[in-house]
Amino acid sequence: MSVEARERRQPWILLSPALTAIGLLLFVPLFFIVVYSFWLRTATGADQAGFYLDNWNEALTDPFYRDILFSTLRIAAITTVACAVLGYPAAYFIARSKGNKALLLLLLMLPFWISYIIRTMSWINILGVSGAVNWVLLNLGITSEPIQMLYNEPTVILGLVHFLLPFMVLNVYVALEGVDVSLEDAACSLGSTRWQAFREVTLPLSLPGLAAGGLLCFVLSAGTYITPLVLGGPTDAMYANLVFEAIITQLNWPLGSALSLMLLGVLGALVLVYNHYLGMGQLMKGLG
Amino acid sequence: MDNTKRYERMRERYLNGDLDRRKFLGLIGAAGLAYGVHTPFARQALAATEQVRFDGWGGVVSEAFRKYAFDPYTKKTGIKVVDGTFGGGDEYLSRVKASQEGEYNIAHLSGVFDYARYANLGLNSTLNEANIPNLKFVIPKLTDVFRSVTDGTLSCVPYDYGTTGIAYNRKYISDEEAKEKGAKLLIDAAYKGKIGGWSDWRTRVWYASLQTDQDPNDATDMDAVWEAVRTNRDLLLKYWQSGAELMSLLAEEEIYVTEGWSGRIYALQEQGKDIGYIDPPNGFGWQECLFVIKGSPMEACEELLNFMLAPETSIAVAEGQNYPPALDPTKVNLGDKIPTLPAFDPTGKLDGLTFANPEYWNSHEQAWSKTFGRIQKGY
């Protein structure tokens, strides 16, 4: 075998364990979900194999699913913007800090050591009627009665931002680390202010990180179901809650499969749009 | 014919020249392959008869089962009990549906409704009642309702019963007000934002039937029922998902009134919380059972059920979870605590409780669970 042929084969040999794992653990189950989506659930809860378009018809034409999908995308977009606004300064601060960078990164990673559900539930002790915020407000005499802060859409977004912020900070931090600090100094020496230097040099160079973090935050928040369940009110369900309900509560695996594929399709389409405008190369750059 | 005999015959045919060498070796290879593929599964199947898997709600109930039933059972029979837990009946049914036959054996299920669902999916077994002598202590009314679902046979033994009544914080709602308003307390606009509700479609439809003065087992005006479900939704702080969440919402005074499970509310009262509890007329009565899933080692399961039904085990579990056991109080002395539990019936006839009619509820399950799912989300 020639050296060129061996070099051509080498990446595939190295990639083969990962590709096998992805094939077995992602594509094979996905194939089953696709097959399931064309089956029907009978009145007794058993599945009827075959090729029926009923679930797809329902998932695509019923305004109930469409409205909740749009609502989910809206919540995911707000969460992503909030993460970007809050995460960028934090990432900038860490990237530009001297000496205690490792400690700051450790603090950033610290929440991952605690279960996501526990972190979400911790807001009940903070914002609840008997929570810390109400306790302070009542004891300072600012309010005479506890304020109802939980179980609405803002608290769902708050919970999501709490969960996703570290993902945004890490992505932006990696991008900022790759930006040469002397470029800002060079811009200043040529007459720009610090703000102009940041806006026209650092910010554009760190955009791939921001975009990668944004994509990650958006996809993860669009697929969440724990946060609206714990922190949402009666009408704050997101799309993943519908999938859960179809599969677990109604035991309607075929409809649940169609709904989950629809979410996958919408998020996949958004990734494609992203790729069209920004390119996956930029994303990879952002991911370091 | 055993494998050795098969091999000897084949070898003889080979030596006689009836089989050529290539075919002989090919058949030996195929037999080896079949044995290799089969053996791990066969070993697992054999092991299954040496252990029984039990799935329940965890917590104090599991501890009581372990102490009073599983350990003595293992000591007597040598059969190990693998103890699993689940968060809810729907989730567990999905797991069972996705599993291989025999993977799950006994489950602590809620209600006749679940029993019928398992039976409809063909997941039921048939118990040999002669192997469960402690079944004689059980209240007959509780077993009869299961028999009616599975043509006179049993796939489970009843284990405990309770109610889903109305729980309220006495600081804000008096006993008199609760009694007077009954189920309509849950649609009282005066408590908007301070009402909780279980996100279970059956409970919602049941209580909406009561709120519209209809028979919960035969509502005729479903439009009125759904309207009551919507009214309740608009007044709710949130739909709770679990007993732990229910207790937290009530204890933290996030909500003043909700429907609740009798045992959980009793636990709150034991903790010193001033929570009242009433079962309105036609309140939701239910029972739990120990269900044996199809494909389980029946004799081993039946023996375990007998251990679990033994009065000392049943009483210990009942005291732990605050639900009266299925044991007939006219046949068994249930001690001091159980007679004080909510929903307890000293007569053993359970005439005061209204249970869900499985036929009625199952026939509407698909449509109503879907409708409630939509109303719950604001539609």
Please, what is the angle between helix B358-376 and helix B201-211, to 10°?
100
Q: Does B141 touch chain A (CB under 8 A)?
A: no
DSSP string, A214-275: HHHHHHHHHT--HHHHHH--TT---HHHHHHIIIIIS--HHHHHHHHHHHHHHHHHHHHHHH
Structure tokens at A63: 């305004």
How far apart (Å, rounded) are the C-alpha atoms in residues A98 and B144? 76
- Ordered DSSP codes for A121-174: HHHHHHHSTTSHHHHHHHHTTS-SS----SSSHHHHHHHHHHHHHHHHHHHHHH
For residue A207, the 8-state DSSP code is: H
- Residues B120, A64: C-beta atoms closer than 8 Å: no
Q: Can you give the pLDDT at residue A81? A: 98
Q: Compute the nearest-CA separation of B21 from chain A (Å).
A: 38
Chain B's closest residue to A253, CA to CA, is B94
B340 pLDDT exceeds 60? yes
- Of chain A, the percentage scoring pLDDT greater than 70 comes to 96
d(CA A263, CA A240): 8
Confidence of residue B167 (pLDDT cuts 50, 70, 90): very high
CB distance B289 to B146 below 8 Å: yes
A46 to chain B: closest CA residue = B121
Task: Provide CATH code, domain A62-286.
Answer: 1.10.3720.10
ipTM of the complex: 0.76
| Residue B42: per-residue pLDDT | 42
* Alpha-carbon distances, residue A171 vs A100, A137, A203, B259 (angstroms): 19, 37, 14, 46
* Interchain CB distance below 8 Å, A249 and B90: yes
The predicted pLDDT at position A280 comes to: 61
- The answer, yes or no, to whether residue A288 has pLDDT greater than 60, is no
Contacts of B91 in chain A (CB under 8 A): 248
- In chain B, how long is the greatest CA-to-CA distance? 98
Inter-residue contact A234 to A156 (CB < 8 Å): no
Q: Decide if pLDDT at B13 tops 70.
A: no
State residue A166's pLDDT score: 95
Tokens coding B274? 């001033």
Residue of B nearest to A246 (CA): B370
Give the side-chain half-sphere CA count within 13 A for B265.
Answer: 25
Average pLDDT value over all residues in chain B = 88
B237:A235 CB<8 A = no
The residue in chain B having the minimum alpha-carbon distance to the alpha carbon of residue A237 is: B377
Q: pLDDT value at position B244? A: 83
* Bridge pairing between strands B236-240 and B195-198: parallel
pLDDT of amino acid A126: 95
Å from A237 to nearest chain B CA? Answer: 6
What pLDDT score does B59 carry? 73
Q: Which residues of B touch A250 (CB under 8 A)?
A: 366, 369-370, 373
Please report the pLDDT score of residue B128 as a whole number.
Answer: 97
Q: According to the model, what pLDDT value does residue A210 have?
A: 94
Interval B224-283: pLDDT, tens: 999 999 999 999 999 998 888 898 999 999 999 999 999 999 999 999 999 999 999 999
Nearest to A259 by CA among A271, A249, A245, A270: A245
CA distances, A227 to each of A87, A170, A214 (Å):
20, 22, 19
What pLDDT band is residue A239 in, cutting at 50, 70 and 90?
Answer: very high
Contact at CB, B369 and A46, closer than 8 angstroms:
no
pLDDT at residue A279, as a whole number: 67
Is residue B52 within 8 Å of B296, Cβ to Cβ?
yes
> At A187, is the pLDDT very low, low, confident or very high (cuts 50, 70, 90)?
very high
Q: What is the 3-state secondary structure (H, E, C) of chain B?
A: CCHHHHHHHHHHHHHCCCCCHHHHHHHHHHHHHHHHHHHHHHHHHHHHCCEEEEEECCHHHHHHHHHHHHHHHHHHHCCEEEEEECCCHHHHHHHHHHCCCCCCCEEEEEHHHHHHHHHHCCCECCCCHHHCHHHHHECHHHHHHHHHHCCCCCCEEEEEEEEEEEEEECCCCCHHHHHHHHHHHHHCHHHCCCEEEECCHHHHHHHHHHHCCCCCCCCCCHHHHHHHHHHHHHHEEEEECCHHHHHHHHHCCCCCEEEEEHHHHHHHHHCCCCEEEECCCCCEEEEEEEEEECCCCHHHHHHHHHHHHCHHHHHHHHHHHCCCECECCCCCCCCCCHHHCCCCCCCCCCCCCEECCHHHHHHHHHHHHHHHHHHHCCC
Residue B6's pLDDT band (cuts 50, 70, 90):
low
- Residue B189: the pLDDT is 97
A46 CA: distance to closest CA in chain B (Å): 6
Average pLDDT of every residue of chain A: 91
**DSSP of A3-67, one letter per residue?**
HHHHHHHHHHHHHHHHHHHHIIIIIHHHHHHHHHTTSEE-TTS-EE-S---HHHHHHHH-HHHHH
pLDDT tens figures, B73-124: 999 899 999 999 887 888 899 999 989 999 999 999 987 888 998 998 999 9
Task: Quote the pLDDT of residue A64.
Answer: 95
Provide the pLDDT for residue A282.
60
| Interchain proximity B379–A234, CB inside 8 Å | no
Mutate to test the interface with A, among B198, B366, B376 (most CBs of A within 10 A): B366
> pLDDT tens for residues A133-175?
999 999 999 999 999 999 999 999 999 999 999 999 999 999 9
pLDDT over 90, % of chain B: 68
Cα gap B9→A246, rounded to integer Å? 57
Residue B37 pLDDT? 47
Q: Do A68 and B377 touch (CB under 8 A)?
A: yes
Query: For residues A248 and B117, what is the distance between their CA atoms, to the nearest angstrom?
Result: 13
The pLDDT value given to residue B318 = 92
> Which has more pLDDT, B202 or B36?
B202
When pLDDT is cut at 50, 70 and 90, the band that residue B46 belongs to is very low
Give the global pTM.
0.81
